[in-house]
A and B are shown apart, each in its own frame.
Chain A
Amino acid sequence: MDCAVEIRSVSKRFGDFLAVDNVTLTIAPGEFFSLLGPSGCGKTTLLRILAGFEHPSSGSILIGGIEMAGVPPYDRPVNLVFQQYALFPHLTVAKNIAFGLRYQQVARRDRGKRISEALEMVRLSGLDQRKPDQLSGGQRQRVALARALVLRPRVLLLDEPLGALDQKLRKEMQVELKNLQKHLGITFVFVTHDQEEALTMSDRIAVMNGGKVEQADASATIFERPATRFVAAFLGAANVLEDHTTRFIVRPEKLFFRPDAAPAGGTSDSLPVVIEERVYQGINTVWTVRTDTGQRLTVCQQNTEPFDPAAASVGDRRHIWWDRRHAVPLTEDRP
């Protein structure tokens, strides 16, 4: 079987509103795939279509090569980790996790084993008799995860599961989730609006905007070689430069200051600028500069040298250089 999930020209309409616009994606087995985009871009709707809670207005979904049209959520080999976890408040942790085992004809004696395995996987052993309202946010998140994983789905869908956690916990869970996925080898489809999160965990990312997929590629490719202006902007400030024929993007950290222009025929290009603003951020310093044509660009430099007040400051004239390999042409002709 070549792909775990195949989304073929799927569109979803709610009345007049087109939430998902002709999306085609393939997700390979064992892949950590993220749907990344701002709120309202259609990523959650797409996920719910995969889970079976929405029917596509057109197009089809195949999971494991099998057409999913007309297949209800309870018959699909996928499981969903809900954004607010949706733990059953009247059941203990153990009973929550055991909920779906009944439908898999797992013998009663084996259920206990599967439950403890699941609890161990998410490091919650010992909490099996607690009720959800006795757990912290992070613990609830893990129970939701265990409840889905215990059923050994082909594909695990996750709807912004880390959204409600605080920064530190989020970062820990990101690493844990990634390791868990690698260890289990299950295909993960992960929805998030946080680009850093997507980059940290994913093998491949699909960036969505207004119901369409702007670009679907490996994480590094999305970051280094954004195909459209939206993708570039969504993954960190993008500087859009033009030469006579094309528009291209250079990431802020790929720009550096030199006093003079780059020589022709070399590996770098340059532009003269005036420094407008400088913000010290500890690890980096971020500069806003203005070109002769009035355009504003962002430069980001890691502070590898100790702070030197005599270095580039507001009002100075400099040249910004970039290696031509770091100039990414835009494939769209939108301005």
Chain B
Amino acid sequence: MTGTSRYSIWLTAHAVAVYLFLYVPILLLVGLSFNRSPLSAIWTGFTFDWYAKLFSDSEMIAAAQRSLFVAAAATVSATILGTAAAMGLARPAAPAKQTTAGLLYLPIVIPEIVLGCALLTFFSVTRWELSIWTVTLAHITFSVSYVAVVVRARLAGFDQSLKEAAMDLGAGPWGAFCRVTLPLILPGVIAAALLVFTVSIDDYVITSFVAGADSTTLPLKIASMVKTGLTPEVNAVSTLLLGLTMMLVLTAQRLLRGRPVRK
């Protein structure tokens, strides 16, 4: 089925074309961020100017700080909540399992627009002023689901007899969790945390609804700059953000790939 048959060559060519399609726009973005010319496409020379401009742009830095803060806060909360939820769902006698599982899927399947509107309406009805905290709460809402889904997948392959062995040898339920379960699911939990951090840092739609005037995050700033056509700086900050998220995602990939605990 493999080898240098006609199909194989077409398949390879097609795959190459698709990967190019996926990455050329990104590479162009990165490349043009070093372009001396402020009118994007024509290359006039290499420069770091746009990056330098970023670091002197106080609004940009503030937006970046806010994004990092929200991502960090949302990640920590969501990871704890989501991991607990995943573990709760793994127990045979847990209450309302099906409902909880369905509830956890809801933020992922409901279109972001709807979530954004719903939260905005919620905050306005409760007279809650839009701020960095409303953004954080919104991010926690959808992040919990991502963490739960990822950790559940890891737990599914978890060998229950390991927990029993720990208890047989004298460990109570808490001891069994700390010494056996946790170390073994930790790579999965960390991977989930990294992914959720990425999602939070990149989030645009929901954030655009629940951010107040002074709580502009990085994606919001980028979007407004894109629409007003201030291209080169935007390319630079986009490149940096892409670089960061790619690193996080690749790390998470590696963690998730390492030997899950098979039965």
Binding site for B on A (CB under 8 A): 51-53, 72-74, 79-80, 82, 84, 86-90, 99-100, 102-104, 147-148, 151
The answer to whether B183 touches A86 (Cβ under 8 A) is: no
The answer to whether B165 touches A151 (Cβ under 8 A) is: no
What are some 26 contacts across the A-B interface (CB < 8 A)?
A52-B167, A52-B168, A53-B168, A73-B164, A73-B167, A74-B170, A74-B171, A80-B165, A82-B161, A82-B164, A84-B159, A86-B159, A86-B161, A87-B165, A88-B165, A88-B166, A88-B180, A90-B183, A90-B184, A99-B166, A99-B171, A99-B179, A100-B169, A104-B170, A147-B169, A148-B168
| Nearest CB on B from A86, distance (A) | 4
A208 to B257, CA, bound (A): 44
167-222 of chain B: CB within 8 A of chain A: 167-172, 175, 179-180, 183-184
A102 to B169, CA, bound (A): 9
Known: A88-B165, A147-B169. 15 other contacts (CB 8 A): A51-B168, A72-B167, A72-B172, A73-B164, A79-B169, A80-B164, A86-B161, A86-B164, A90-B184, A99-B169, A99-B179, A103-B169, A103-B170, A103-B171, A151-B170
**Residue B250 at the chain A interface, CB threshold 8 Å:** no
**Residue B230 at the chain A interface, CB threshold 8 Å:** no
Please provide the 10 A-B residue pairs with the shortest distance between their CB atoms, ordered closest to farther: A103-B170, A100-B169, A86-B165, A86-B161, A100-B170, A73-B167, A80-B168, A74-B170, A74-B167, A73-B168
The answer to whether B161 touches A84 (Cβ under 8 A) is: yes
**Residue B162 at the chain A interface, CB threshold 8 Å:** yes
Binding site for A on B (CB under 8 A): 159, 161-162, 164-172, 175, 179-180, 183-184, 259, 261, 263
A235 to B159, CA, bound (A): 34
Residues in A with CB closer than 8 Å to B162 are 86, 88
A169 to B183, CA, bound (A): 33
Residues in A with CB closer than 8 Å to B261 are 89
| Nearest CB on B from A261, distance (A) | 59
Chain B interface main SS type: helix
Residues in B with CB closer than 8 Å to A79 are 168-169
Residues in B with CB closer than 8 Å to A84 are 159, 161, 263
* A82-B161, A84-B161, A99-B179 known; A89+B167 contact, CB < 8 A: no
**Closest chain B residue, CB of each to CB of A80:** B168
Residues in B with CB closer than 8 Å to A104 are 170
| Nearest CB on A from B114, distance (A) | 42
**Closest chain A residue, CB of each to CB of B179:** A99
**Closest chain A residue, CB of each to CB of B261:** A89
Residues in B with CB closer than 8 Å to A52 are 167-168
| Nearest CB on B from A74, distance (A) | 5
**Closest chain A residue, CB of each to CB of B180:** A88
A148 to B164, CA, bound (A): 13
**Closest chain B residue, CB of each to CB of A89:** B261
A80 to B166, CA, bound (A): 10
Residues in A with CB closer than 8 Å to B172 are 72, 74
A79 to B179, CA, bound (A): 18
| Nearest CB on A from B58, distance (A) | 47
A82 to B172, CA, bound (A): 18
A80 to B172, CA, bound (A): 16
The answer to whether A151 touches B164 (Cβ under 8 A) is: no
A74 to B164, CA, bound (A): 9
Residues in A with CB closer than 8 Å to B263 are 84
Residues in B with CB closer than 8 Å to A73 are 164, 167-168
